[in-house]
Amino acid sequence: LFASVQLAPKDPIFGLTEAYVADQRPDKVNLGVGVYYTDEGKVPLLKAVIKAEEAVVAKQSPRSYIPIEGPNPYNSAVQNLLFGADSALIKDGRVVTAECLGGTGALRVGADFIKRLNLNAPCAISNPTWENHRGIFESAGFEVVEYAYFDGKTRGVDFDGMVKSLESFPKNTTVLLHACCHNPTGADITEAQWRQVIDICKNKGLIPFLDMAYQGFASGIEQDGIAVRLFAQSGMSFFVSSSFSKSFSLYGERVGALSIVTQSKDESTRVLSQLKRVIRTNYSNPPTHGAAIAAAVLNSAELRKLWEDELAEMRDRIKAMRHGLVEKLAAAGVKQDFAFIEQQRGMFSYSGLTAEQVERLQKEDGIYALSTGRICVAALNTKNIDKVAKAIARVLA
Ligand code: LMR
């Protein structure tokens, strides 16, 4: 039966974590996977999460099935976070939200749903993008094409290229956009550029799908939500996948959501009914625990404040590490200008390191990064940053 099964390549991100775990060197550093670590090198358990979890556990709720689309307190908290508590779209019943298994699960449910609309159009992803985007949409049956995004020379966004690409796509192309903290480059477009992208999506009849996995990691909850807010004002129908993996440090709980903006309450009812069929035939209904924690935090003024403070702490520490790395690279004798690391936002930096240089870092220093040169700045700390800067300086020399 399995005689002809080929060995699949390792996942470029989690495969690297497997190699890191197997590495016996005590001072190894994992800059591969997108996970935030504290200065002590630990994945944090947020105080807001601990408090909410204590309350959830104390309730000793039975674990029956929850609705196919997830619990209402969770879904409405997600909507308020993404669209703003005073959003007219929410009031008018034009937002459909379903709890999904992390941002990845939300992307897949959204992809399956769009596929069932039989629009016969491709999905466009940024070049480059998060490794899994292509896989998710191809698995859902899409032809996946790319739009220009990153300019290797400026290490910023090639916006003219992006515009040209978007304008070339046929009607009903699903355009996957990173709402903030672009993964893997850390290069985001400006508010004015978002307005232009929205105009193109509208004029060309494209289907915007915003992937929002890092809300709060660039500037703050409200500021990082700007793309969603602008699309909300545009009058278009669009999709948002969101995740609490990073912002709540709840990676393993798989807490995410898919939100779909429709044209009317009636449309929402029909869209939700179809979305439930997609979910039911995939994993039936979502798990209880992670969403209960997220809802308990977001629906309590006290815990929400605590969470936002902790999120700010994570954000500030990442910024300090970006600053530190730029300084230490210069101090280690690196001649190239690495100031771009401080301009990039979120967990990642597209460092410009080549695959060969990345391989040397792994072999010679036990420093793991993606072969594309993406490094997770959120894994740097005051104990490993000197080692990392010196090693990078050496492979660049
Ligand atoms: C990453 O890009 O490293 C994270 O989003 C983790 C993942 O699922 O790949």
Q: Residues 325, 290: one domain? A: no
Residues 113 and 23 in one domain: no
User: Does the beta carbon of 33 sit less than 6 angstroms from any atom of ligand 1?
Assistant: yes
**Parent domain of 34:** 14-45+303-396
Give me 189's structure tokens. 């477009």
Same domain? For 280 and 314 the reply is no
Task: Look at residue 58 and tell me if it is in a domain.
Answer: no
Task: Give the model confidence (pLDDT) of 113-159 as tens digits.
Answer: 999 999 999 999 999 999 999 999 999 999 999 999 999 998 999 99
Q: Which atom of ligand 1 is nearest to the CA of 130?
A: 2
> Pick the catalytic residue: 130, 224, 307, 365?
130
Mutate to test the pocket of ligand 1, among 10, 11, 13 (most ligand atoms within 8 A of CB): 13
Same domain for 322 and 255 = no
Q: What is the pLDDT along the chain (397 residues), one digit of tens a residue?
A: 999 999 999 999 999 999 999 999 999 999 999 999 999 999 999 999 999 999 999 999 999 999 999 999 999 999 999 999 999 999 999 999 999 999 999 999 999 999 999 999 999 999 999 999 999 999 999 999 999 999 999 899 999 999 999 999 999 999 999 999 999 999 999 999 999 999 999 999 999 999 999 999 999 999 999 999 999 999 999 999 999 999 999 999 999 999 999 999 999 999 999 999 999 999 999 999 999 999 999 999 999 999 999 999 999 999 999 999 999 999 999 999 999 999 999 999 999 999 999 999 999 999 999 999 999 999 999 999 999 999 999 999 9
Domain shared by 271 and 310, yes or no:
no
Say whether both 162 and 247 belong to one domain. yes
Give the whole-angstrom CA distance, residue 381 versus residue 317. 9
Residue ending a domain, among 299, 317, 335, is 299
Nearest to 44 by CA among 184, 247, 214: 247
* Judgement on whether residues 315 and 244 belong to the same structural domain of the protein: no
Asked whether 243 lines ligand 1 (CB < 6 A), one says no
Task: Dig out the tokens for 308 from the structure.
Answer: 């936002």
Assess contact for 28 and 368: CB atoms under 8 A. yes
Say which residues have a Cβ less than 8 Å from residue 24's Cβ, sequence separation at least 6: none
Q: In terms of domains, do 362 and 281 share one? A: no
- Note if 246 is an active site residue: yes
Distance 146 CA to ligand 1 centre (A): 20
60 in any annotated domain: no
Q: Is the CB of 35 under 6 A from ligand 1?
A: no
Q: What CATH number corresponds to the domain at position 144?
A: 3.40.640.10
**Reported ipTM:** 0.95
* Domain boundary residue, one of 299, 327, 352: 299
Domain assignment present for residue 5? The answer is no
Cβ neighbours around 89 below 10 Å, total:
20
Q: What share of the chain is helix, strand, coil (3-state, %, to 5)?
A: 45, 15, 40
**Within-domain flag for 8:** no
Check if 307 is active-site. no
Q: Are residues 367 and 229 in the same domain?
A: no
Q: Which residues contact 114 (CB under 8 A, 6 or more apart)?
A: 123, 140, 174, 207, 209, 239
Concatenated DSSP letters for 283-324?
A: TSS--SHHHHHHHHHHT-HHHHHHHHHHHHHHHHHHHHHHHH
Domain count, the chain: 2
Residues 21 and 37 in one domain: yes
Per annotation, catalytic residue among 158, 188, 211, 224:
211
State how far the Cα of 146 lies from the Cα of 158, in Å rounded to an integer.
Answer: 13
- Tell me, yes or no, whether 2 lies in a domain: no
110 and 232 inside one domain: yes
Query: How many CB atoms neighbour CB 362 within 10 A?
Result: 20
* 169 and 273 share one domain: yes
The answer to the question of residue 54 being in a domain is no
Q: Is residue 235 part of a domain?
A: yes
Among 299, 331, 350, the domain-final residue is 299
* pTM score: 0.97
